[in-house]
Structure 1
Amino acid sequence: MRSKIADTLDKITQSNTTQEEKIDTKALLKHAPEAPIPTGLKPMLATLVDKPFDDADWQYEVKWDGFRTLAFIQQGEVELLSRNNKSFSDKFYPIHHLMQAWKMNVVLDGEILVLNEKGISKFGELQNWRSEADGALVYYVFDLLWYEGKNLMELPLFQRQAILKDILPKGDDRVRIGQVFTAKGTSFYQDAEKLQLEGIMAKRRSSTYTPDLRSQDWLKIKVHQRQEVVIAGYTKNEGTSKLFSSLLLGVYEKGELQFVGKVGTGFTKKVQEELIALFKPYLTKKSAFKVIPDINKPSRFRPDPPKAEAFWLKPELVGEVAFTEITSDGIFRQPSFQGMRSDKKAIEIVREVAQPTAKAVKVKAVTASEAFAGALTPPEVRERRTLLNPTNDSQVRPVCGHDIKFGNLSKVYWPEDGVTKRDMLNYYYQIADYILPYLKDRPLSLNRFPNGIHGTSFYQKNVKGKAPEWAQTFPYTTSDGQHKEFLVGNDEDTLLWAATSGCIEMNPWFSRTHSPDNPDYCVIDLDPDKNTFEQVIEAAIEVKKVLDALGVPTYPKTSGSTGLHIYIPLGAKYTYDESQDFARKLVHVVNKQLPDFTSVERIIAHRNGKMYLDFLQNRPGATIAGPYSLRPKIGATVSMPLHWDEVKPGLTMRDFTIFNTVERLKTEGDLFKAVLGEGVDLERTLKKAESLFS
């Protein structure tokens, strides 16, 4: 259901679009001066003012809480650069990869941020962003500087944005055009306060783009007080168990670092660990402050502060804090840590003082009639994309509340296809919601390939003493009395832990831990020898014909290797013996219909190269690759559930791989849901089949 905010946004956008439709963007591009793509460009900056205002010659935008980013795209090469020309291409790889597919040459200006479920950007979440598991990464584009050999920076802002709207590719909301509003700036600001935004931007509609200049044609009005700071040290209180107690903050004034206070809130334990690791190369014995602060000095707020020790840092790291006010001696009141700023240089960090709005703007009467009632829409519900970023070969990621270490991520598991361990783990993360129903509560036999599909592999059933403490296991006793434990595929964290150990394929039991002797389904495994795949398809269709005649529902999937699997839901109402007996009778009927190329012989030598109609899989502890499991085969194939009308000549295993499964699931959904349903009435079916099975 759409929100009132989204509906209001549509109405305002429509009114703005009417105005833009009068602009001949093709003519503007035709007459724009030719120029090579700019290099070494730094973005145009805005001046801080103290109050919002209303003026018909100005437009208003959201002040995003993210990283300012220029995007340079030419001949398929993409570079994302910070305001100081540091590369963001690897850090924000989803945006980089998306733009590599664009068929255009262009330079864009915008802001990269992470949106939460309410559509609000949170800088702390962006600062800690490592992969798409950490949030919806969005690049909001608000300006167009150069396009297909044309310099557009001398055009008025509203004309640049009209061209931007025409040329920006649509269809993936990870790149969005920043909405422009010509409503009252004061109303816009009030709604920004209600929505807890960082602030608003005001831009003169006629403004040209002036790189690396803080212009009064662009203004920012903050809702909450924020300040970038140099982190020049930290303290540790006597007797504390924390890694540090507070950070020592500074800003530059006349080229010298001035102390502006301590911040001791806004840190999780994990953030503290990351910061301490970050600080180590910058530790120094000398303070960088012009006047060394007395960290143990009492104040009216803390007359008896704990005794603390100071650790000094070279003044090279930049962070950001929020605060309530600045005291008369220039100290931030009640600061809270927001995150680190890797996009800004320490020497640039000065105290930001808001200018009086009246001084910066000659305000005119408002003629616009729009009333802004909300600026944001949450990110659309999207499929998962990645858990692990493409850069670090070793990563620790939180999954279901447990930190899992993922290592050797660049190791190639499928060399013919260039598929790495990282790709495999990202695949299982993306399809977790689809595969987990077929692993939940089921003991797993782990088929591990620690060195890829051509390396030594082995089955691991016993995980006693090897699985993490939080993982559920299922006990069993061997014939010689040894106590062992299966891993149970309950959760996403278990799935990914198994995969990171080199378990390429997921092999679950047919039954679950609460009813281990009663399988949820019966499986017919069509296992070819010297047969063509067309013969496998013919045998599958014959199985379906027999079961259709009995009114029994059937669900096919590729094995991902050479054969097909046909599932019959049982609903855990029967024993393995009863399931196997039904399967045995069924395959004997099929064998009679197709004697030339099928066999029911257990001994391979007695099959004479014929396809084995395997019914013996229906036994306790037996496993086959589950639905959506990867297979250790060239092509990085997947065991894929099918519609029956897909089971026809022309079908191949390579139709379903790691490369296209996620897209298929988006359109087809889970075709195997009914396999876990109520199940057939086996007794009634057997009575109906007495003549057929005799």
Structure 2
Amino acid sequence: MSESVTLELDGTEVTVSHPDKVFFPQRGETKLDLIRYYQAVAGPLMAALGGRPLLLERYPSGAGGKSFFQKRVSSSAPSWLRTTVVATPNGTTSDALVAHDLAHIAWAVNQGCLGFHVWPNRAGNLEITDELRVDLDPSPGVGFPQLREAAALTRELLDELGIAAHVKTSGSRGLHVYAVLRPEWDGYQVRAAAVALARELERRHPDRITAEWWKELRGSRVFVDFNQNAPHRTVFGAWCVRPRAGGQVSTPIGWDELATVEPDSLTLATVPARVAERGDPWGQRSPQSLEPLLELSRKDMASGLMDAPWPPVYPKQPNEPPRVAPSRARKD
């Protein structure tokens, strides 16, 4: 391993230890290569992540090695790091790293962070959720062409409701559709809106899209994972590199690229050139109203629908159905 190097990033000196440690074995990119990637996409990266708490996915030996999630910044971290107190569903609090500037990103990479999972809140006002995140998840038997179709249908519905949305690859097998929200709603309201969106998509396209939380009921349909909008949940960040051997990036794309994009080709080796050539596809996002989706939610509740199931780590919620898979309920 070579000696440490010190970089000046946004006015802060960050020391990078073992800069030539290989993080991505497919092409041999190193820890320093990953930091250089984030420097190359710093503008759009900080526009998407800036000011938000981060959950760190650490791979000290690089992609493919052992890993763990880090919720809290240790007391031995540099004094210049910005943190904020966040809570888990059971109320446990921790000091989370804030994406304050590029120096904070580089510090985390130096700790072996190969995955930034981003809160839908700003550190300055954690009570407000200002992003709707529609996670389109492939069920068994569902390929990327079906995901493309589901993303287009999601956009079509949101357009009909007057909500402008944008799309990115997940860096893995899925697609994420985002809408920036006006700072008026909390995580419970945003999740209710996501449930309503998923159910309406299923009503309109029952053979292609499902809102079923239980895997045994989904079939070969694209699942709209509404619970990614539950309070305290994070989603893999835009422009962030996944801990995969090829260093795939969760990449914002234009809607006009949806039909042709090949997610595995979007890597830390290729994305900087895309940004230099095309700019930021999310650069013109503006805050939207959640009210059309909340009105759908109110109509569903008035018709007698119960809330959708919550993940098991959450306390039982009002109007939630039994938190048990249908097949198991029948056996009981």
- Scaled by the length of structure 1, the TM-score of the pair is 0.41
- Select 1:544's aligned residue among 146, 155, 163: 155
Q: Distance between the aligned counterparts of 1:548 and 1:439, measured in 2? A: 25
Looking at structure 1, the residues matched to 3 and 255 of structure 2 have their Cα atoms a distance apart, in angstroms, of 42
Take 2:253 and 2:89, find their aligned partners in 1: how far apart are those partners? 39
Runs of 5+ consecutive residues of structure 2 not aligned to the other structure? 304-332
Which among 239, 246, 252 is matched to residue 635 of structure 1? 246
Report the AA paired with residue 129 of structure 2.
Answer: P
Is the counterpart of residue 663 in structure 1 residue 273 in structure 2? Answer: yes
Paired residue secondary structure (2:156): helix
Cα 1:599–1:571 change in 2 (3 A) is same
Q: Does 2:24 correspond to 1:408?
A: no
Pair 1:585 & 2:193 matched: no
Alpha-carbon distance in 2 for matches of 1:653, 1:631: 12
CA distance in 1, matches of 2:56, 2:262: 26
The yes-or-no answer on 1:560 pairing with 2:150 is no
SS in 2 for 1:437: helix
Name the structure 1 match of 2:289.
681
Q: CA deviation at 1:686?
A: 4.8
Q: Which one-letter code corresponds to 2:291 in the other structure?
A: E
Deviation at 1:478, TM superposition (A): 6.5
Q: Is the counterpart of residue 445 in structure 1 residue 80 in structure 2?
A: no
The aligned residue for residue 308 of structure 2 is none
Match of 1:286 in 2: none
Give a deviation string over 1:119-169, Cα, whole Å, max 9, x none.
xxxxxxxxxxxxxxxxxxxxxxxxxxxxxxxxxxxxxxxxxxxxxxxxxxx
Separation of aligned partners in 2, 1:469 and 1:689:
45
Structure 1's unaligned 5+ residue stretches are 1-390
Shift of 1:477: 5.8
Match for residue 330 of structure 2? Answer: none
Does the 8 A contact of 2:89 with 2:231 survive in 1? no
Shift of 1:685: 5.8
Residues 625-668 of structure 1 show CA distances to partners (whole Å, capped at 9, x for unaligned) of: 111111112321111111111111x4221231111211111122
Matched residue, 2:71: 461
The SS at the match of 1:582 is helix
Structure 1 equivalent of residue 138 of structure 2: 528
**Counterpart residue identity of residue 209, structure 2:** T
Q: Cα distance 1:656–1:614, how it changes in 2: closer, same or farther (>3 A)?
A: same
Describe the superposition over 1:45-66 as per-residue Cα deviations: whole angstroms up to 9, x where unpaired. xxxxxxxxxxxxxxxxxxxxxx
Is 1:570 equivalent to 2:188 in the alignment? Answer: no
Classify the secondary structure of the residue corresponding to 1:409: coil
Q: Kindly tell me: are residues 593 and 417 of structure 1, through their superposed partners in 2, closer, same or farther at Cα, counting changes over 3 Å? A: farther
- Shift of the 545–494 alpha-carbon distance from structure 1 to 2, 3 Å rule, reads same
Q: Quick one: distance in 2 between partners of 1:608 and 1:408? A: 47
Deviations 1:181-222 (A, max 9, x none): xxxxxxxxxxxxxxxxxxxxxxxxxxxxxxxxxxxxxxxxxx
Among residues 396, 414, 433, which one is paired with 2:43 in the alignment? 433
Residue of structure 1 equivalent to 2:312:
none
RMSD over aligned CA atoms reads: 2.5
Residue number in structure 1 paired with 2:282: 672
Distance 2:186 2:20 in 1: 44
Structure-2 change in CA distance of 1:518 and 1:476 (3 Å)? closer
Per-residue CA deviation, residues 89-140 of structure 1 (Å, 9 max, x unaligned), is xxxxxxxxxxxxxxxxxxxxxxxxxxxxxxxxxxxxxxxxxxxxxxxxxxxx
CA distance in structure 2 between the aligned counterparts of 1:478 and 1:425, rounded to whole angstroms: 29
Change (3 A) 1:545 1:655: same
Cα pair distance change 1:692/1:674, threshold 3 Å: farther
Match of 1:110 in 2: none
C-alpha displacement at 1:392, in angstroms?
A: 4.2
Are 1:602 and 2:213 an aligned pair?
A: yes
SS of 2:154's partner is helix
Matched residues in 1 for 2:122 and 2:148: separation?
Answer: 30
Taking the aligned partners of 1:688 and 1:593, their CA distance within structure 2 comes to 14
Q: What is the rounded CA distance, in whole Å, between the counterparts of 1:507 and 1:428 in structure 2?
A: 15
| Whole-angstrom CA distance in 2 between matches of 1:589 and 1:482 | 34
Contact 1:550–1:688 (CA under 8 A) maintained in structure 2: no
* Identity within the alignment, %: 32
Q: How do 1:151-550 residues align onto structure 2 when only pairs under 5 Å count?
A: 392-476=2-86, 484-530=94-140, 531-550=142-161
Letter in 2 for 1:653: P
Query: How much has 1:687 moved relative to structure 2?
Result: 4.8
The separation in 2 between residues aligned to 1:540 and 1:466, in whole angstroms, is 43
Q: Residue in 2 aligned with 1:193?
A: none
> Where is the strand percentage greater, Structure 1 or Structure 2?
1
Q: TM-score, normalised by structure 2?
A: 0.83
**Which is greater in Rg?**
1
